[in-house]
Amino acid sequence: MFPAHTPASITGGEIFAAFAFYPCFIFSVIGLIAGLADIVRSRDSRGSGVLLAVLALVLPATMVAKKLNWEANYDASYAWFDQAGGGGLINFFLYRYVREHPSAVAYLSDDSEEVQVSGFIDALRAAEPLYMRDHSGRKHKVRITPEGVFTPWGSRIHFAVDRNHDGFLTAAGQRGSTRHGVADPWAYDKNYSYSFATGVFLTLPDPKLSQTDSSFVTVDNNDYDRVAPSLFAWLQQK
């Protein structure tokens, strides 16, 4: 059984915005109609009619601008795809822990690189709270229990550790390049080299919106050495 999903906390501002939206929208429609009526009715009232119509359009224009801004930052909202956010963030902890405790790794089968890592959950708890973002950008807390690590929507986060040095991580029927963001590291760069890589994979909450039902985020020693110092320094300040 997966842990029950815990909704993110809602701020007072969000509650106010939710209750205020529909009255404001209705007043905007009424104001727009009244403004257009003044414009059509007579020349003397055109000035006030234009002003009323413009003011009435402020809320719809703000809504459109917010939507466009959300779409422009869509990838940022999808933090579970990012190498340093969501599942990718946990992967940096996994990488560090496995490098420091290689004997803690136990592969689950001969044809998979999925692993169990003894002691990792206890070590990860020291970094709590860790968050993922949903499509709206709101943060939800990652659930860390004795049974495992779970996304805010209830799916288990699985771990993988490279062991055959072929440039890919394979687990649960998925195959991900050890070079993040590149389908085939050798085709992308014939001089590509790495010494170690880990990965995390998880099920996504909305396959239709994300156009896939899962995410597999990897990190090799090149990206880890480049990103980890600033990432862990930033986390210590949170």
Q: Are 157 and 130 contacting, i.e. CB atoms less than 8 angstroms apart?
A: no
Cβ within 8 Å of residue 160, ≥6 positions away: 112, 113, 114, 115, 169, 170, 171, 198, 199, 200, 201, 218
Query: 187 falls in which pLDDT band (50, 70, 90)?
Result: very high
Cβ within 8 Å of residue 131, ≥6 positions away: 86, 139, 140, 141, 142
Note the pLDDT of residue 5. 31
Note the pLDDT of residue 136. 57
pTM of the model: 0.65
- In the three-class reduction of DSSP (H, G, I as helix; E, B as strand; rest coil), residue 175 is classed as strand
Classify burial at 63, counting beta carbons within 10 Å of its beta carbon; exposed 0-12, middle 13-18, buried 19 or more.
middle
Give the residue, 42 or 179, on which the prediction is more confident: 179
pLDDT tens column, 73-93: 444 444 445 666 667 788 999
Please determine, for residue 95, whether its predicted confidence score (pLDDT) is greater than 80. Answer: yes
Q: Are 199 and 217 contacting, i.e. CB atoms less than 8 angstroms apart?
A: yes
Long-range contacts of 53-62 (CB under 8 A, 24+ apart): 55/31, 56/27, 56/28, 56/29, 56/30, 56/31, 56/32, 57/28, 57/32, 58/28, 59/24, 59/25, 59/28, 60/25, 60/28
**Considering only CA atoms, which of 183, 195, 200 is closest in space to residue 225?**
195
Beta bridge partners of 106: 116
Per-residue pLDDT averaged across 115-135, rounded?
A: 83
Name the average pLDDT for the chain.
Answer: 74
What are the φ/ψ torsions at residue 215 (nearest 5 degrees)?
-135, 135
Helices 58-72, 46-56: inter-axial angle, 10-degree rounding: 30
pLDDT tens column, 5-28: 333 344 455 455 555 555 666 666
